[in-house]
A and B are shown apart, each in its own frame.
Chain A
Amino acid sequence: MKYLSKLHQALAEGHFAVTAEIGPPKHASAQGVIRHAQMLQSCVDAANITDCQTAIVRLSSIAAGAHILGCGVEPIVQMTCRDRNRIAIQADLLGAYSLGMRNLLCLSGDHQKFGNHPSAKNVYDLDSVQLISLMRRMRDESKFFCGEEIKEHEPRFFIGAVANPFADPFEYRVDRLEKKIEAGAQFIQTQCVFDMERFERFMEMVRARGLDQRAHILAGVTPLKSWRAARYLQTGVSGMIVPDTLVERLKNAADPKEGIKVCIEQIRHIKEKVRGVHGVHIMAIAWEEAVPEIAERAGLLPRPGLQRRAESID
């Protein structure tokens, strides 16, 4: 069997996968990205490179991906629908593939209102479901989005999508996940899980429909640096649920690294108790250096030393 990427292989072979997130800088130097990549190199299977997250202009996801690839970390290129129309998206993704990117995460993107260019015109020519479906068709049927044939060298991404079990309407979130899987999503990274009870209910519905058999679900986890960070996520960010008990625990903790402890507990719980979850996606917001420790103490290391056996077009 040929795999589309190392991440694909790890998941397909039944490893409990670990991904992390690298946020590119607001300038034109790749040094920070490279340092992050080197830090993550031995403890993740792949790393997401965000695409102008929260609509703040940053070094591009694809360019950053090229840099970390050089450090031996497999990138997951993120592509939002906010900034590019269908022409730009295809052009960029052809380029990304040519640079060696193999994983693609398709998402709508945060609204520009939240970023540093709130007066920008958003695009949303396509939405995430459409993007997934068209990228799958590009790979499997060698067709551009318009239907025109790609004569040779079609990009063959391992396609991912996101899911948010904490947004509303709750039940419909599973429908929408199914839509994405139906459209071609092979792996799913979820929004940060803090409300374990709700996540488990979500997974129960996912399993009931057999969706965990049709795509690899990676639960998003986040170590919280402080109780204030927790309170901010609880009240200031739409589509997040942070239980009060967690905020209280962080508030009362003596250990400044209580957040890491919580995160590790969550990973262990998910790995051992929540069936259908095939890995974790660690989003250490502004705390990237915590990832190796979390991976280590959560018993996720060592990562399987996979050779680059993925199919390639180069």
Chain B
Amino acid sequence: MIKAQQKDIREIAGMVEGCHKVLLAGCGGCVTVCLAGGEKETEIAARALRLIRKRSGKPLETVTYVATRQCEPEFLAPLDELVKDVDAVISLACGVGVQCLAERYQDKWVVPALDTKFAGGSKETGVWEERCGLCGDCILHKTGGICPVVRCSKSILNGPCGGSQHGKCELGQDIDCAWQLIYDRMKALGRLSELTAVQPPKDWSKARDGGPRRLIREDLIADEISE
């Protein structure tokens, strides 16, 4: 799932400095799961902003609402009433949610409260790690189920580079060398020979090319004409 992190409250406060009343919109999807933008965090952000503003002599009124998922327009309908009398909307969703709100409320100042970090999973309580670079062209079957695109600092497809030592990346002891992991796993699986093939340059056109990527499922496109 998408992992995000709340921005420093001072930065968020700065974005709504001139506002008197704001709506804090949480999201019940990924950012709830990663404890960044669900009901609890929305409430914390609201209280912290009010506290900051009260202390600076310019009280702020807050309204909170948590959408089931901000990335779906259907779930935003209940916000329509709430946004009417606020000066700004603070979205506690990922970048997708922020943009969905900005698109829906054309005349409203919509600001992000989170930094959207990556697609990843939980390592332990309070620790998440990136696992997928959303490159659009999965090669995990060639690398033992370990993604060098995001887990190698250089995204090397024919690794490891010369900086790999004792299983760690040259960038630091807290980063596992993805290629050591790949090597170990392929070795354990008896598939080391597959690593001798030279991996060709990646087709990055599937990752970022010509505006936002788009998925189209033909079987879900209604055929209005013949109906």
Question: Closest chain B residue to A163 by CB distance?
Answer: B162
Q: Beyond the given A114-B170, A127-B154, A191-B162, could you list 15 further A-B residue pairs with CB under 8 A, ordered by the A residue number?
A: A108-B161, A109-B154, A111-B170, A113-B153, A122-B154, A127-B158, A128-B158, A129-B158, A129-B198, A130-B199, A145-B201, A167-B163, A169-B160, A169-B180, A182-B196
Q: Knowing A164-B162, A167-B165, A238-B170 touch, does A108 contact B154 (C-beta < 8 A)?
A: yes
Task: List B contacts of A111 (CB < 8 A).
Answer: 153-154, 163, 170-171
- The answer for the CA separation of A122 and B160 in the assembled complex, in Å, is 17
CB distance from A234 to the nearest CB of B (A): 12
Q: Which residues of B contact A (CB under 8 A)?
A: 153-171, 177, 180, 183-184, 192, 195-196, 198-202, 204
20 pairs, CB–CB < 8 Å, chain A vs chain B: A81-B154, A111-B153, A114-B170, A125-B202, A125-B204, A126-B201, A127-B158, A127-B159, A128-B156, A130-B201, A167-B165, A168-B165, A168-B167, A168-B177, A169-B184, A172-B160, A179-B196, A191-B162, A238-B163, A238-B170
Shortest 10 CB-CB contacts between residues of A and residues of B: A164-B162, A238-B170, A129-B158, A127-B156, A238-B163, A108-B161, A239-B162, A124-B154, A239-B163, A167-B164
Asked if A266 is an interface residue, CB under 8 A from chain B, the answer is no
**Which of B157, B158, B165 has the most chain A CB atoms closer than 10 A to its own CB?**
B158
The answer on a CB contact under 8 Å between A167 and B154 is no
- The answer for the CA separation of A300 and B169 in the assembled complex, in Å, is 37
- The answer for the CA separation of A87 and B63 in the assembled complex, in Å, is 52
Task: List B contacts of A248 (CB < 8 A).
Answer: none
- The answer for the CA separation of A183 and B200 in the assembled complex, in Å, is 11
**Which of A172, A175, A183 has the most chain B CB atoms closer than 10 A to its own CB?**
A172
Task: List B contacts of A82 (CB < 8 A).
Answer: 154
CB distance from A129 to the nearest CB of B (A): 4
| Interface residue from B168, B184, B192, B202 paired with A238 (Cβ < 8 Å) | B168
- The answer for the CA separation of A119 and B204 in the assembled complex, in Å, is 22
Determine the main DSSP class of B at the interface with A. Answer: loop
Contact indicator per residue, chain A 76-117, by CB within 8 Å of chain B (1) or not (0): 000001100010000000000000000000001111011000
Asked if A204 is an interface residue, CB under 8 A from chain B, the answer is no
The answer on a CB contact under 8 Å between A169 and B170 is no
Asked if A154 is an interface residue, CB under 8 A from chain B, the answer is no
Task: List B contacts of A191 (CB < 8 A).
Answer: 162
The answer on a CB contact under 8 Å between A238 and B154 is no
Task: List A contacts of B170 (CB < 8 A).
Answer: 110-111, 114, 238-239
- The answer for the CA separation of A145 and B167 in the assembled complex, in Å, is 33
The answer on a CB contact under 8 Å between B164 and A239 is yes
Asked if A200 is an interface residue, CB under 8 A from chain B, the answer is no
The answer on a CB contact under 8 Å between A133 and B198 is yes
Task: List B contacts of A238 (CB < 8 A).
Answer: 163-165, 168-170
Task: List B contacts of A86 (CB < 8 A).
Answer: 201
The answer on a CB contact under 8 Å between A179 and B158 is yes
- The answer for the CA separation of A129 and B159 in the assembled complex, in Å, is 9
- The answer for the CA separation of A113 and B167 in the assembled complex, in Å, is 19
Question: Closest chain B residue to A113 by CB distance?
Answer: B171
Task: List A contacts of B155 (CB < 8 A).
Answer: 124
Task: List B contacts of A175 (CB < 8 A).
Answer: 192, 195-196
CB distance from A19 to the nearest CB of B (A): 18
Task: List A contacts of B158 (CB < 8 A).
Answer: 127-130, 176, 179
| Interface residue from B157, B180, B183, B204 paired with A127 (Cβ < 8 Å) | B157
Asked if A178 is an interface residue, CB under 8 A from chain B, the answer is yes
Task: List A contacts of B183 (CB < 8 A).
Answer: 169, 172
CB distance from B135 to the nearest CB of A (A): 13
- The answer for the CA separation of A133 and B199 in the assembled complex, in Å, is 10
- The answer for the CA separation of A168 and B160 in the assembled complex, in Å, is 8
CB distance from B94 to the nearest CB of A (A): 21
